[in-house]
Every structure is written in structure tokens, then in C-alpha cells.
Amino acid sequence: MKRAYNFNAGPAALPEWVLQEAKEHWLNFNDTGMSLMELSHRSADYEAVHNEAKELLTSLLSIPDNYEILFLQGGASLQFTMIPMNLLPKNQTAYYALTGIWSEKALKEASKLGNTAISISSKNENYSYIPNSEQIEVPKDAAYLHITSNNTIYGTQWSSYPTNVSVPLIADMSSDILSTPIDVSKFGLIYAGAQKNLGPSGVTVVIIRKDLIKEDAALPTMLSFHTHAKSNSLFNTPPTLAIYLLSLVLKWVKKQGGVEGIATINNEKAKHLYDVIDQSNGFYRGHAEETSRSKMNVTFTLQSENLTKAFLQEAKEAGFVGLNGHRSVGGCRASIYNAVPLEHVMELTKFMKEFQRKNQ
């Protein structure tokens, strides 16, 4: 079987090694005579998988001891609600940096639950850039500052994070977690849906500083971080298969040289694609300003709508999957998450150069 050139934005490509490893143990995990999906989440065999995933993530991201790792459900979208429910008191204000649709959605949900404000925004330029983090001003009595580290729709990414704020920094890292080294200690909370860089859809990783976890009897039980922290994310039945596959992805990342090794490959993949765009004399036009370009989602258009449609159709016929831009902005988008092989990116660059040659 020939693997597709998968550039989907999410659910996205998984490492072939992970799929083969899961296949090898699909019917009989750990000589239990059962698939991992059939194991009780209270069993020793599953608990070992669960805890290994936490240990691997701790090691790969150098997560300090004063942080808790939670495996939750509901995607990043549920965190738009859980975070203000748990971390936004009535007498405080949460600040949001608007850099795309997902940060807008996060702000919208928080606004239903408490006081919110916009700290900085790039909406005036159709989210084509990331604002200067040093220009962000947040009052010392704010509840927190929320950012979206990578914007899948517009193809922009924070290259450095705000350092001049004294309140907890919260980051939605759904689309770039594990893609480059980060200092977890600079954040109060990091959350990420798994379906781009961590594994399949169905599990959301939350990395939260322990002092931010408060017991609040007024909160719905399942929407309290305290509930899940005190039960090792086993209060209810977790998405066991998704967590197992996440653990395999983490093992694969370790085999690639850890986050540092992955970052080197990601830089190379992004460079090849942006070089084609920059050297096309305007045939391909990137959406993001150069200083804000994402290394996970490369967004671009062609010189006309008809040419864009022709590009996407021919790319599909050539075996490339998922190159359509988001429905809200159109154009093209190549999502080059961790599991997308460099070889597939090189095939895309060859296709882009040939398409330009034929249509210029």
C-alpha cells in the first residue's frame, strides 16, 4: 500500500511506526487475549499505558514537578469553557490575545461566564500576523492571559511568548505542541487537542500548574480540574484507545531525537515550502507575514480563483490530500505537523514547481 500524501489540518497524519505498532498488538495487547479497547480502564495493563503516557510527556517537555497532566475529553473547544469556569473569579477579568478564529471562539465562551477583555488583536489585518508580545499589557489583578500559539486557519504562529505579564499565561497549543521546545514553567496552563501532533482525536491534554487547581463545590463535577487531577484522569472511563495511541506517538517522538530532533525536521519542511512560495515571483502568495509564519500550517493562494481550483484538483489527482484552505478563508493550506514526512513535503514542492511551470 502506498501511503497518501496527507496534509490534512486535523485529524491529521499519524506516524506510520505508530500505526504498525498498534496493528501488531491490535487483537492481543500484552498477552491479555484482548484488544486495548476491551481492557478495563481500572486494569493494571491499561493503567501502565496511562501512566507511561504521562511519564513520556513529562520527559519530552521537561514538565516541572509542580504541574499536573490531565487526559480529558471534549477537545480544545471544551477547554474554552472549563478554563474560565475554573480560573475566572467573578471579581476578576480574563484577557485574550486575538490572533485567529480559535482565539475568538475561546473569548466568546469565556465571555458567557465572566468578565473578559481583549489584550491585543491582529483582526484588523485579517489575522495575517502575530502582534508584538512585548506590547501586551495586562493588569496585575487579571485572572489570566490566554493566547493561541499557532493559528491553523491563517498560518501564523507565535515565535516568542509574552514575558512581561505577571498573571498566569494560558496557551491553546493544539496545533503545535511537541513541534518545538518550550519552557513549560512560563505557563500556568497549556492545553491541546491530540488530533494534530499528539495522536488521534478523542483526547485532550491539559498541563496545569498545581496551584491553579482549586476545589469548588459549585462547579459541575466533570468540569472541574480538581475532579480529574485527584483521580489521575480516571474519574470516569477515559478514551483508552486514544491515550494508548498518544503514548505510541510520544515513543515515536523520542525515537526522532525528542522535541529538539522533531523541531529540526519541522524547520526543514517549512523552509522548503516557503522557499517555493517566495521564489515563485508572486505565482504563489503566502497569507501570513514572513515574521509570523507558521511551521505547522503553510497557507497560500494563487493568482486567481480559477488557478487555485485547478491547483487543488490536480493536486488531488496526484495523491495529495487535505490541501484545501479552511472554508472561512479559502485558498490552499499544507498542514505539515510532526508526522508528515519530509519526503512528502518534498513531493509537494516538486508538484508546486511543476504546476507553476505549466501555468505561468
Find the catalytic residue in 54, 196, 269, 295. 196
Q: Of 194, 218, 219, nearest to 207 (Cα)? A: 194
Distance separating alpha carbons of residues 198 and 287, to the nearest angstrom: 26
Find the catalytic residue in 172, 252, 269, 295. 172
Distance separating alpha carbons of residues 14 and 9, to the nearest angstrom: 12
- Mode of pairing for the β-strands spanning 189-193 and 204-209: antiparallel
Distance separating alpha carbons of residues 311 and 267, to the nearest angstrom: 25
102 given a catalytic annotation: yes
DSSP 324: B
Name the residue with cell 505498532. 21
**Cα 65 off chain centre by:** 23
Distance separating alpha carbons of residues 158 and 140, to the nearest angstrom: 23
Per-residue cell: 125: 489585518
172 given a catalytic annotation: yes
Find the catalytic residue in 102, 176, 269, 295. 102
17 given a catalytic annotation: no
Name the residue with cell 498560518. 155
Does the CA dihedral 214-216-221-224 come out positive or negative?
negative
Q: Which residues are catalytic?
A: 102, 172, 196
